[in-house]
Structure 1
Amino acid sequence: MRIKATLDRVPGGMMVVPLLLAATINTFFPGILRIGGFTEALFVNSASALIALFLLIAGTQITFKTAGSSVGKGVTLLVFKWVLGSLVGLLAFWLADDNGLFLGLAPLAIIAAMTNSNGGLYIALAGQYGKEDDKAAYPFLALSDGPFLTMVALSIFGTMGFANGMFSPMSFVAVLLPLIIGIVIGNLDPEMGDFLNKGSDKLVPFFAFSLGMGIDFSAIIKGGISGIFLGVITVALTGGIGYLLFKWIGWNPIVGASEGSTAGNAVGTPIAIVAANASFEPIAELATVQIAASVVTTAILLPLFIGFLAKRLDKKAVMAKAS
């Protein structure tokens, strides 16, 4: 049975197939792997630990001379995604109907979904299609986790006052530290870096499966067509424009497109926003289910979109060599 060959034929197969398999199990048989012990630790709860290890290994391949490119890419992706999501949300506020919706979408849901990205998905895609400095950009993307940047956007729009306590500098340090440790190890002993790097790709299907165990397909049903639409435009706009932006700069455009997702923790953003400003309460429930649908939709659609872009680039490269 040629499992690896089959996965290699699927765009992003090493990541998307385990993720979708786990999501299917979690949707229809949520308790089957939640039996404690090593089984639950590996297949359900391992994503954070494995991603941290993946990040540490990526750090071993970064020299102090090349670390600047990781910072540049990370900050570029963070700022671009926040600006784009905020502008689309602002447009939705301006064009909203009497119910406060734009094309059936809550503007709050648009901002939260488009400015928060799935870090695990980015790591998996950057690991498959990018280089070490692309993976090492991840800690800066983690700054978008949670409601902080959504609140900043809403504050700028004048719809609410700024609220404290929505971003912890220590949380950023906690994400950055494994990468820094990896950089130190790799620079002190390149042989140790080479040793660790040999196994990094093998982590991808395992943390992808664990990520999938946090996805429930019923979220798509609850979010309805509007939630699916939010996921589609998140992939198309943040992923598509990220691709073009990185291509224009001269970086790997596939990595730029890898930010076109919605983070799972974005689902809690409306509740946090309501805690700071109760005027958003009437729309919070709808925004929550729409964001949840976008999380699932982007987790499925983005790897397929990335696979399509990668094949398109390969064809162009072949044609360029032939001409």
Structure 2
Amino acid sequence: MKIKATLERIPGGMMVVPLLLAAIINTLAPDLLRIGGFTQALFVDSANALIALFLLCTGAQINVKTFGVSLAKGATLLTTKWVVGAIFGLIAYMLAGDNGLWLGIAPIAVIAAMTNSNGGLFVALVGQYGSKEDRAAYSLLALNDGPFLTMVALTIFGAMGFVDGLFSPISFIAVLLPILIGMILGNLDEDMRSFLDQGSSMLIPFFAFALGMGINFKAIIEGGLGGIALGLMTVFITGTAGYLVFKALKWNPIVGAAEGSTAGNAVATPAAIAAASTGFASVVDIATVQVAASTVTTAILLPLYVAFLVKRLEKKGYLFDNGNLLKKEV
């Protein structure tokens, strides 16, 4: 039975198939694998640990001389994602009706969903289509976790004053540290670099499954059309913006597109903002379910969109070689 070969024939199959399989299980029978012991530890609760190990293995492949490139790519992704999300959030506020909604969507949900990104999904996609330097760009993307960048956007708009304590530098260091440890090991010992290289691709289907166990398709229904529309905007607008920016800079554009998602941690952002400013209390409930719907929608749609972009590039004569996008010689 050719399971691996079958998965590899599906665009992004090593990540998409386990993720969707787990999401179906979590929606229909959420307690099936939540039975404690090693089963739950591996298939339900392992996402953060496996992603951390993946980042360590990836960090070991990075030559210290090229780490600056990774930081530049991470900063570019972070800035592009925030600027696009903030602009659409501003448009939503400017065009909102008397009920405080824009096309049925809470403006605060627009900013929370579109400026945030699913780090695990990014790592999985870039692990398949990106280079070692691209994977390390994730170290900066931790800055868009939580409500911090949403607060910055709202501050700029004059909607509320800046509130301290919503972002801790420790959170950033906690993401960066596994990559740095991997870099140190890999740069000190070539044999250790080769040993850890084996873990990079092997871990993807396992943490993809664990990520899927955090997805419930019911969130799409609860979020309504507004939540689905928000997810579509996040994938096609922020993902495409990242693609075009990376393409203009002559970097692998698939890496830019891989940032077009919303992470589960963004679901808590509306409540955190409302706790800091009661002026947002009236839209907290609808914003929360819409961000949740965006999280699920982007988790399903982004891998498919990335696969489409990959096929499009391949038809134009490009190929992927160790994460580097190369033009085929005619």
Q: TM-score range by the shorter chain?
A: over 0.9
Q: What CA distance in whole angstroms lies between the structure 1 residues aligned with 2:275 and 2:92?
A: 22
Amino acid paired to 1:61:
Q
Confirm whether residue 253 of structure 1 aligns to residue 292 of structure 2: no
Q: What CA distance in whole angstroms lies between the structure 1 residues aligned with 2:318 and 2:166?
A: 48
Change in Cα spacing, 1:321 to 1:199, as seen in structure 2 (3 Å) is closer
Confirm whether residue 116 of structure 1 aligns to residue 116 of structure 2: yes
Q: What CA distance in whole angstroms lies between the structure 1 residues aligned with 2:61 and 2:16?
A: 25
**1:11: which partner in 2?**
11
Confirm whether residue 265 of structure 1 aligns to residue 265 of structure 2: yes
Amino acid paired to 2:234:
T
Contact preservation (8 Å) 2:80, 2:241: no
Change in Cα spacing, 1:155 to 1:45, as seen in structure 2 (3 Å) is same
Q: What CA distance in whole angstroms lies between the structure 1 residues aligned with 2:111 and 2:303?
A: 22
**2:322: which partner in 1?**
none
Deviation at 1:9, TM superposition (A): 2.2
**2:87: which partner in 1?**
87
**1:178: which partner in 2?**
178
**1:58: which partner in 2?**
58
Q: What is the 5 A alignment of 1:282-293?
A: 282-293=282-293
Q: What CA distance in whole angstroms lies between the structure 2 residues aligned with 1:140 and 1:322?
A: 35
Q: What is the 5 A alignment of 1:97-136?
A: 97-136=97-136
CA deviation digits over 1:22-69, x for unaligned, max 9? Answer: 011111111110111100000001000110010011111111110000
Confirm whether residue 317 of structure 1 aligns to residue 297 of structure 2: no
Amino acid paired to 2:126:
A
Q: What is the 5 A alignment of 1:146-185?
A: 146-185=146-185
CA deviation digits over 1:272-301, x for unaligned, max 9? Answer: 001000110110100000000000000000
**1:191: which partner in 2?**
191
Confirm whether residue 210 of structure 1 aligns to residue 238 of structure 2: no
3-state secondary structure, aligned to 1:146: coil
Deviation at 1:322, TM superposition (A): 7.6
3-state secondary structure, aligned to 2:65: coil
Deviation at 1:97, TM superposition (A): 1.1
Q: What CA distance in whole angstroms lies between the structure 2 residues aligned with 1:4 and 1:56?
A: 24
Q: What CA distance in whole angstroms lies between the structure 1 residues aligned with 2:278 and 2:263?
A: 24
Q: Which runs of 5+ in 2 are unaligned?
A: 320-326
The alignment's TM-score, normalised by the length of structure 2, stands at: 0.96
Deviation at 1:10, TM superposition (A): 1.8
Amino acid paired to 1:31:
D
Change in Cα spacing, 1:234 to 1:65, as seen in structure 2 (3 Å) is same
Deviation at 1:199, TM superposition (A): 2.6
Q: What CA distance in whole angstroms lies between the structure 2 residues aligned with 1:6 and 1:195?
A: 27
Q: What CA distance in whole angstroms lies between the structure 1 residues aligned with 2:21 and 2:198?
A: 26
Deviation at 1:119, TM superposition (A): 0.1
Q: What CA distance in whole angstroms lies between the structure 2 residues aligned with 1:229 and 1:10?
A: 26
Deviation at 1:79, TM superposition (A): 1.0
Q: What CA distance in whole angstroms lies between the structure 2 residues aligned with 1:321 and 1:74?
A: 27
CA deviation digits over 1:173-199, x for unaligned, max 9? Answer: 111100000110111011210111023
Confirm whether residue 68 of structure 1 aligns to residue 68 of structure 2: yes
Q: What CA distance in whole angstroms lies between the structure 1 residues aligned with 2:272 and 2:145?
A: 13
Deviation at 1:98, TM superposition (A): 1.3
Q: What CA distance in whole angstroms lies between the structure 1 residues aligned with 2:264 and 2:312?
A: 29
Q: What CA distance in whole angstroms lies between the structure 1 residues aligned with 2:261 and 2:318?
A: 29
Deviation at 1:5, TM superposition (A): 2.1
The alignment's TM-score, normalised by the length of structure 1, stands at: 0.98
Contact preservation (8 Å) 2:70, 2:133: yes
Amino acid paired to 1:2:
K
Change in Cα spacing, 1:261 to 1:98, as seen in structure 2 (3 Å) is same
Confirm whether residue 244 of structure 1 aligns to residue 240 of structure 2: no
Amino acid paired to 2:227:
G
Amino acid paired to 1:263:
A
Change in Cα spacing, 1:322 to 1:167, as seen in structure 2 (3 Å) is closer
Q: What CA distance in whole angstroms lies between the structure 1 residues aligned with 2:110 and 2:292?
A: 12
Contact preservation (8 Å) 2:92, 2:102: yes
Aligned structure 1 segments of 4 or more residues deviating by more than 6 angstroms: none
What percentage of residue pairs aligned between the two structures are identical? 66
**1:294: which partner in 2?**
294
Deviation at 1:321, TM superposition (A): 4.8
